[in-house]
Amino acid sequence: MKDISEFDVDGRRVLVRADLNVPLEGDVITDDGRIRASVPAIEELVGKGARVIVVAHLGRPKGQPNPKYSLAPVAKRLGELLGADVAFATDVIGDSAQAVVEALQGGQVALLENLRFEPGEESKDDAERAEFAAKLAAFGDVYVGDGFGAVHRKHASVYDVPKLLPHAAGPLVLAEVTVLKKLTEDPPRPYVVVLGGAKVSDKLGVIGNLLTKVDRLLIGGGMAYTFLKAQGYEVGKSLLQEDQLDQVRGFLAEAAKRGVELVLPVDVLAATHFAEDAEYEVVDATAIPADREGLDIGPRTRELFASRLADAKTVFWNGPMGVFEFEAFSGGTRAVAEALIRSEAFTVVGGGDSAAAVRRLGLPEDGFSHISTGGGASLEYLEGKTLPGLVALEE
């Protein structure tokens, strides 16, 4: 993949596909990590005199304009981080976008409205997607793909537009690919992966692939209860995917066959109900009361997981250990994060909720070797899938 340095962009219009899909409460951004991660590419282009047109998505508006998913708050925050006004177009390829792009001078930045307001962005119809891509590409002289969190999507702005313009990968995408290659091409051992989050089904492919590569797999979060149930234990009202039990039994057998140490919780915080102020007790993971639900790993599990991370040379972590948004049930996620910070291993936080948890819990981001901006993209890469956005940038 080419990088930005290979292009003379002075005075040229550079279309930057960024990942600005941040969580919002109303019009308040609750975690600006992805915006901050996009700043270096934009600053580099501004410094070279480019007219920078940023395009991105937010949420799932399903091809229709929806004020709930407007990028207007993002434009404001991006301007604050850049220390300069960011012109905002109230549409994607309409009159507002045309006017904003035409008015842009060298060294200035504009952000177009949410790409997913246009049905062509996510269309499964190649012709419809290509038609939208052509209109979007008309705004730029050069394309820079820097939205790693979207490279696993075959969307117009990710896959089709770079085919129409001279293109390069931004620093964020290049950094992410370098890190993921470290995780997949002869990583230093012991190689330990920590997986959490709500659903086993979200990580089926990556678990299956990782069982052929890792030395140790630690399972926490909501998905752990399906593993415990697959072993025949009572999990009460805990999150459970009954339809995945056979698949999980297969994982347990495969891990044993390959000599992969698969570590499950030994105790959990069993709550009366799903709420921040719910009463809870610490119980053995093999004896969760029928009227309780596990909302976090317990103190013995926190110590167990920390001990199984202590000698690691490479660690990939994706998914919280409990409901970290609730203070009472954030301790397990904090314990895993702090174990990684203490570690001398090459440590990668795999984006999504894990990255959000690091920031929400006030932990130092520089305590980890790398915090990914692309949860789904990272997992699909580790699963061994071909990512359309990377293919387009490599051509």
59 is in an annotated binding site: yes
Q: Quick check: is 390 in a domain?
A: no
Q: Could you state, in chain order, the average pLDDT of each consecutive group of 10 residues for the chain (395 residues)? A: 95 97 92 93 98 97 96 98 97 98 98 98 97 98 96 97 98 95 94 92 87 95 96 95 94 96 98 97 97 98 98 96 96 97 95 86 94 86 92 95
Q: Quick check: is 126 in a domain?
A: yes
66 is in an annotated binding site: no
Residue 226 backbone dihedrals phi, psi, to 5 degrees: -70, -35
User: Per the residue annotation, which of 12, 13, 34, 216 is the catalytic one?
Assistant: 34
User: Per the residue annotation, which of 199, 300, 359, 360 is the catalytic one?
Assistant: 199
Domain co-membership, 161 together with 281: no
- Return the pLDDT at 200: 83
Domain co-membership, 320 together with 271: yes
Domain co-membership, 62 together with 115: yes
Domain co-membership, 262 together with 222: yes
- Return the pLDDT at 189: 97
350 catalytic per annotation: no
Q: Quick check: is 391 in a domain?
A: no
Residue 22: in which H helix or E strand, if any?
none
* Three-class secondary structure of residue 35 per DSSP: helix
Q: Quick check: is 368 in a domain?
A: yes
57 is in an annotated binding site: yes
User: Per the residue annotation, which of 298, 350, 352, 375 is the catalytic one?
Assistant: 352
Q: Quick check: is 389 in a domain?
A: no
**Cα separations in angstroms, 193 against 210, 214, 334, 364, 379:** 8, 7, 16, 21, 12
Domain co-membership, 98 together with 209: no
The answer to whether 187 touches 33, Cβ cutoff 8 Å, is no
For residue 114, what are the contacts with CB-CB under 8 A and spacing of at least 6? 56, 57, 58, 59, 61, 65, 69, 70, 71, 92
Interatomic CA distance for residues 288 and 227, integer angstroms: 14
Of 171, 205, 223, the position where a domain reaches its end is 171
* Three-class secondary structure of residue 95 per DSSP: helix
Domain co-membership, 190 together with 165: no
Residue 261: in which H helix or E strand, if any?
strand 261-263
189 is in an annotated binding site: no
Q: Quick check: is 295 in a domain?
A: yes
In terms of C-beta density within 10 A (0-12 exposed, 13-18 middle, 19 or more buried), how is residue 98 classed? Answer: middle
114 is in an annotated binding site: no
Domain co-membership, 164 together with 187: no
Domain co-membership, 152 together with 217: no
13 is in an annotated binding site: no
313 catalytic per annotation: no
CATH of the domain at 262: 3.40.50.1260
The answer to whether 18 touches 55, Cβ cutoff 8 Å, is yes
359 is in an annotated binding site: no
267 is in an annotated binding site: no
Of 171, 195, 212, the position where a domain reaches its end is 171
34 catalytic per annotation: yes
Q: Quick check: is 393 in a domain?
A: no
The answer to whether 33 touches 373, Cβ cutoff 8 Å, is yes
- Return the pLDDT at 158: 98
19 is in an annotated binding site: yes
For residue 40, what are the contacts with CB-CB under 8 A and spacing of at least 6? 171, 172
User: Per the residue annotation, which of 107, 367, 376, 384 is the catalytic one?
Assistant: 376
Interatomic CA distance for residues 29 and 22, integer angstroms: 7
Domain co-membership, 60 together with 183: no
Domain co-membership, 48 together with 147: yes
- Return the pLDDT at 373: 84
Domain co-membership, 341 together with 212: yes
The answer to whether 348 touches 316, Cβ cutoff 8 Å, is yes
Domain co-membership, 185 together with 165: no
Q: Considering all CA atoms of the chain, what is the largest pairwise distance in Å, rounded to the nearest integer?
A: 66
Q: Quick check: is 51 in a domain?
A: yes
20 is in an annotated binding site: yes
107 catalytic per annotation: no
Give the residue among 302, 298, 299, 284 at the shortest CA–CA distance from 231: 284
Of 127, 155, 171, the position where a domain reaches its end is 171
Interatomic CA distance for residues 53 and 108, integer angstroms: 9
Paired with 25 in beta bridges are: 28
Domain of residue 166, residue span: 4-171
**Intra-chain end-to-end CA distance of the chain, in Å:** 8
Interatomic CA distance for residues 372 and 348, integer angstroms: 7
Interatomic CA distance for residues 362 and 372, integer angstroms: 17
51 is in an annotated binding site: no
For residue 217, what are the contacts with CB-CB under 8 A and spacing of at least 6? 192, 193, 195, 207, 210, 211, 255, 260, 261, 262, 263
Q: Count of domains in the chain?
A: 2
